[in-house]
Amino acid sequence: MVNLIRPTLVLLALLTFVTGIAYPLLVTAIGQTAMADQANGSLVMRDGKPIGSRLLGQTFTSPKYFWGRPSATSPMPNNAASSSGANLGPTNPALKDAVAGRIEVLQKADPSNQQAVPIDLVTTSASGLDPDISEAAARYQNNRIAAARSLTAAQVAAVIDANREGALFGFLGEPRVNVLRANLALDALAAPATP
Amino acid sequence: MTGQAFLLLAAFLVLLFVLSWPLGRLLARISDQARPVWSAVERPFYRLAGVDGASGMTWSTYALALLLFNSAGALVVYLLQRVQHLLPLNPQAFPAVSPDSAFNTAVSFVANTNWQGYAGESTMSYLVQMLGLTVQNFLSAATGCAVAFALIRAFAARSSKSIGNFWVDVTRVTLYVLLPLSLIVAVFLISQGVIQNLKPYQEVNTIERVTYDSPKNGVDGQPIKDAKGQPVMESVTRPTQTIAMGPVASQEAIKMLGTNGGGFFNANSAHPYENPTALSNFIQMLSIFLIPAALCFAFGRVVGDMRQGIAVLATMTLIFVALTCVVLWSEQQANPVLATLGTDAAQSATQSGGNMEGKEVRFGISASALFAAITTAASCGAVNAMHDSFLPLGGAATMLLMQLGEVVFGGVGSGLYGMLVFALLAVFVAGLMIGRTPEYLGKKIESYDIKMVSLAILVTPFLVLVGTAVAVMTDAGQAGISNPGAHGFSEVLYALSSAANNNGSAFAGLSANTPFYNILLAIAMWFGRFAIIIPVLAVAGSLAAKKRLEVTPGTMPTHGPLFVVLLIATVLTVGALTYIPALALGPVVEHLQLFAPAASSAGAK
């Protein structure tokens, strides 16, 4: 037993140095030199200042923007310092109430819209930071945004088309729209869009 | 199951086999301790450690070395968490982790479970993530692989006292397999958007302000309470978003390759900074199964008959595909409760549809369900969707994959040695049926071996079922349950299944960061790991000492379809007989409530 103590301590120390210091620092060096944008969070800049990350959802509540997935993070939704899902089970009455409440908010903002609501727009994401909505969820909001911005429905649809992403090789990924990018595209549209 | 899901599963399996074949060759090569691999790299480690790499160990010395090495590792992880506030690389100034949580986490990462009672981005400093957690991501996987090496060498050995040298196994697996693969995967993940930096959390000015309710604090800084003792809420408006940072990619790579599964962030692989694209998700899924699959090929090579390795791999693959289809099918269903509210969950060209609660849009149903099956089949436990929100049968399939003993690919090393334990049981059962002394790979399986095999198989069900019973019968255990009814029971059953089988995923609604769960689950994880490793090493010691018999016409072949069926039947029989009563109380009841509410409520009356 005594002759096992030295290898235990020495190998633990050596392998800790290799895997816990040398390896992560080497990866950091590679990331910061070769792919600094991604390694630092894929931040989106406007007027020289970061306004978010294209990989992280942020909260939109104005009718003139695309709304993202509901988020269960606390204390505020889309808290990028405390990711979390809602973890409501499928039979939990709280899930039914929450979804019913979200449908009500959507319909109040767009009373003329009689379509069934795409499921991802009223259910919480796993991370609470989902940056995307399904293409269906974007199309569902088309007319509300057009009305709020005095645009034609076709102009908003064109923004969705331009920001739609599909599946890589036909099977990797789902039809989706990045909410932050689409909203920046809306803001970048011609004059009537800006208040 | 949609066409896309089928394509995804097929592409995954094909790539897995193509990539694991050459890796199996490498693993077989480094498991051979009689030949040096790259002595300029290895030798300095052995010299400093005072190890004679050429000298073998008896099984008991091997087990003792393994226990010492892992216990020392657990102590380091515990201490690092307890003093993190005094150490550098803590830009968010997190305080010391509580003793029970630090204990749970230390055991969890050393036991290759990576159950997480804490939320990474609001608890752990960068130093603890790197020096404590990343290190054990490597070393626990290397430990599992070492045990698998010892066992397969024992099958190949002839009348040998030694099962190999533990120090050589751990050093070689870490340096030649885990490190290079992690480096490649980590750099790839960065290219997809996984972050890798040591910066403090970033504050950005968002486009819209966010308004939310927050407890109001009085002048003394304490929350104000109303007459009923409820905190008074006030509306707060915030123009910024705080974005967590950190050295994520380096930990993410080994988290997958080592079947560890402990996320840098609370949301694990659902977090866009851990798993930003459908492609990063695909690579993460491959990384989970890569080494467990390659070990099957390595096994075939070492015992000198590749068909034996392929039979084991085929067994794993068949069970995996069957249960994966259950998860894929289940999650593509609409939740009937939500369908009545006027939601559209049909799969179409513009949405994945299905049960999207607790899932990410970029993964949709197929990549979430496949990931869930992979992570529970392997003892990985990373999640890219919240299993707690799965429909009942999808959740039951993930639970069952763990409860089968994590032998369907399983953990790095532990999957193979777990499946070989079942193979020994299968030949023993077959031997009883035909009245011959059972043999596997030319080794006679005798009374001592079968006792150890039984011990290794029975430890986990004992921990899971007794642990669940204790938790649901005590106030402290019930206090953690978040969902009402049958689903609440499933949360507890899932937690114990996950811990004792060293998986680490959760029905995460369970509030497990309490002294009760931290200690109960730590016990389940530690014994679920080492109370299996020790009997497995004992079997290795016993097998290594035996002669290798020649194949005769009376030898039962262990490489054909018949044996694969026998092995599947053994695994399923043990798993099903043990867990069906418990599963009936949780997911089965919930399924009936959800899909036949009238019938089940009538039954309740």
Interface test mutation site (partner B, options A1, A21, A23, A96, max chain B beta carbons within 10 A): A23
Q: Does the beta carbon of B48 lie under 8 angstroms from any beta carbon of chain A?
A: yes
Name the helix (H) or strand (E) containing B237.
strand B233-243
Q: What does DSSP say about strands B233-243 and A176-178: parallel, antiparallel, or unpaired? A: unpaired
Contacts of B341 in chain A (CB under 8 A): 96, 99-100, 103
Residue B220 has pLDDT above 90, yes or no: no
Specify the amino acid at residue A74: S
Q: Are residues A77 and A137 in the same domain?
A: yes
Where does the pLDDT of residue B554 fall: very low under 50, low under 70, confident under 90, or very high at 90 and above? confident
What's the average model confidence in pLDDT over B481-509?
94
Where does the pLDDT of residue A194 fall: very low under 50, low under 70, confident under 90, or very high at 90 and above? very low
Q: In this complex, do A83 and B271 lie within 8 Å of one another by their Cβ atoms?
A: yes
Residue of A20, A89, A99 lying closest to B338 (CB–CB) = A99
Q: Are residues A58 and A139 in the same domain?
A: yes
Chain segment B37-80, per-residue pLDDT in tens: 888 899 999 999 999 988 999 999 999 999 999 999 999 999 99
What's the average model confidence in pLDDT over B365-379?
96
Q: Are residues A89 and A141 in the same domain?
A: yes
Nearest CA of chain A to the CA of B271: how many Å?
Answer: 5
Residue B437 near residue B486 (C-beta atoms within 8 A): no
Residue B308 near residue B295 (C-beta atoms within 8 A): no
Please classify residue B10 by burial: count the beta carbons closer than 10 Å to its beta carbon, then call 0-12 exposed, 13-18 middle and 19+ buried: exposed
Q: What is the domain range of residue A23?
A: 1-40
Residue B182 has pLDDT above 70, yes or no: yes
Contacts of B244 in chain A (CB under 8 A): 80-83
Residue B338 has pLDDT above 50, yes or no: yes
Interface test mutation site (partner B, options A120, A132, A133, A142, max chain B beta carbons within 10 A): A120
* Overall residue count recorded for chain A in this entry: 195
Burial B457-476, CB ≥16 within 10 A → b, else e = bebbbebbbebbeebbeeee
Residue B369 near residue B328 (C-beta atoms within 8 A): yes
Q: Are residues A106 and A31 in the same domain?
A: no
Q: In this complex, do B182 and A23 lie within 8 Å of one another by their Cβ atoms?
A: yes
β-pair partners for B241: B204
Q: Is B183 helix (H, G, I), strand (E, B) or coil?
A: helix
Chain segment A48-90, per-residue pLDDT in tens: 999 999 999 999 999 999 999 999 999 999 999 999 999 999 9
Q: Are residues A55 and A70 in the same domain?
A: yes
Where does the pLDDT of residue B217 fall: very low under 50, low under 70, confident under 90, or very high at 90 and above? confident
| Encoded tokens for B32 | 């051979």
Chain segment B499-524, per-residue pLDDT in tens: 999 999 999 999 999 999 999 999 99
Chain segment B394-412, per-residue pLDDT in tens: 999 999 999 999 999 999 9
Q: Is B346 helix (H, G, I), strand (E, B) or coil?
A: coil
Where does the pLDDT of residue B214 fall: very low under 50, low under 70, confident under 90, or very high at 90 and above? confident
**How many Å apart are CA B518 and CA B528, to the nearest integer?**
15
Q: Is B211 helix (H, G, I), strand (E, B) or coil?
A: strand
* Average pLDDT across chain A, whole number: 94
The reported pLDDT for the residue numbered A195 is 45
Q: Given the structure tokens 């997958």, which residue do they identify?
A: B256
Q: What is the chain A residue with the closest CA to B3?
A: A171
Integer-rounded Cα Rg, in Å, for chain B is 24
Residue A191 has pLDDT above 70, yes or no: no
Residue B30 has pLDDT above 50, yes or no: yes
Q: Are residues A170 and A86 in the same domain?
A: yes
Q: Does the beta carbon of A159 lie under 8 angstroms from any beta carbon of chain B?
A: no
* Average pLDDT across chain B, whole number: 94
The reported pLDDT for the residue numbered B599 is 52
The reported pLDDT for the residue numbered A192 is 47
Q: What are phi and psi of B519, to 5 degrees?
A: -80, -45
Q: What is the chain B residue with the closest CA to A30?
A: B187
Residue A104 has pLDDT above 90, yes or no: yes
Chain segment B256-282, per-residue pLDDT in tens: 999 999 999 999 999 999 999 999 999
What's the average model confidence in pLDDT over B431-439?
89
Q: Are residues A140 and A168 in the same domain?
A: yes
Residue B545 has pLDDT above 70, yes or no: yes
| Encoded tokens for B15 | 């790539």
What's the average model confidence in pLDDT over B337-355?
95
∠ Cα A72 B594 B579 (to 5°): 95
Q: Are residues A92 and A25 in the same domain?
A: no
**How many Å apart are CA A158 and CA A155, to the nearest integer?**
5
Share of chain B residues as helix, strand and coil, in percent rounded to the nearest 5: 65, 5, 30
The reported pLDDT for the residue numbered B1 is 59
Q: Are residues A51 and A26 in the same domain?
A: no
Q: Does the beta carbon of B474 lie under 8 angstroms from any beta carbon of chain A?
A: no
**How many Å apart are CA B27 and CA A104, to the nearest integer?**
58
What's the average model confidence in pLDDT over A22-51?
96
* Overall residue count recorded for chain B in this entry: 605
Residue B603 has pLDDT above 60, yes or no: no
Q: In this complex, do A133 and B361 lie within 8 Å of one another by their Cβ atoms?
A: yes
Residue B602 has pLDDT above 70, yes or no: no
**How many Å apart are CA B259 and CA A24, to the nearest integer?**
18
Q: Does the beta carbon of A110 lie under 8 angstroms from any beta carbon of chain B?
A: no
Q: In this complex, do B487 and A90 lie within 8 Å of one another by their Cβ atoms?
A: yes
Q: What is the chain A residue with the closest CA to B68?
A: A8
What's the average model confidence in pLDDT over B374-392?
96
Q: Are residues A94 and A15 in the same domain?
A: no
What's the average model confidence in pLDDT over A95-108?
97
Q: Could you tell me which residue, B453 or B604, shows the higher pLDDT? A: B453
Q: State the alpha helices, DSSP H only, in B474-555.
A: 475-479, 486-500, 515-544
Chain segment A119-162, per-residue pLDDT in tens: 999 999 999 999 999 999 999 999 999 999 999 999 999 999 99
Residue B206 CA to chain centroid, in angstroms? 37
List the domain boundaries for chain B. Answer: 202-243, 412-597
**How many Å apart are CA A31 and CA B200, to the nearest integer?**
17
Specify the amino acid at residue B300: G
The reported pLDDT for the residue numbered A190 is 58
Q: What are phi and psi of B148, to 5 degrees?
A: -60, -40
Question: Dihedral of the CA atoms A59, A63, A69, A74 (nearest 10)?
Answer: 40
What's the average model confidence in pLDDT over B81-109?
96
Q: Given the structure tokens 């607790």, which residue do they identify?
A: B358
Q: In this complex, do B273 and A90 lie within 8 Å of one another by their Cβ atoms?
A: no
Contacts of B61 in chain A (CB under 8 A): 4
What's the average model confidence in pLDDT over B587-595?
94
Q: In this complex, do A180 and B72 lie within 8 Å of one another by their Cβ atoms?
A: no
Domain count of the fold of chain A: 2
Contacts of A5 in chain B (CB under 8 A): 68
Residue of A23, A27, A89 lying closest to B388 (CB–CB) = A89
Q: What does DSSP say about strands A43-46 and A49-53: parallel, antiparallel, or unpaired? A: antiparallel
Q: Could you tell me which residue, B554 or A75, shows the higher pLDDT? A: A75
Where does the pLDDT of residue A182 fall: very low under 50, low under 70, confident under 90, or very high at 90 and above? very high
Nearest CA of chain B to the CA of A28: how many Å?
Answer: 6
This model of the complex carries an ipTM of 0.95
Q: In this complex, do B351 and A119 lie within 8 Å of one another by their Cβ atoms?
A: yes
- Dump the DSSP string for B531-545: HHHHHHHHHHHHHHT
Q: In this complex, do B187 and A50 lie within 8 Å of one another by their Cβ atoms?
A: no
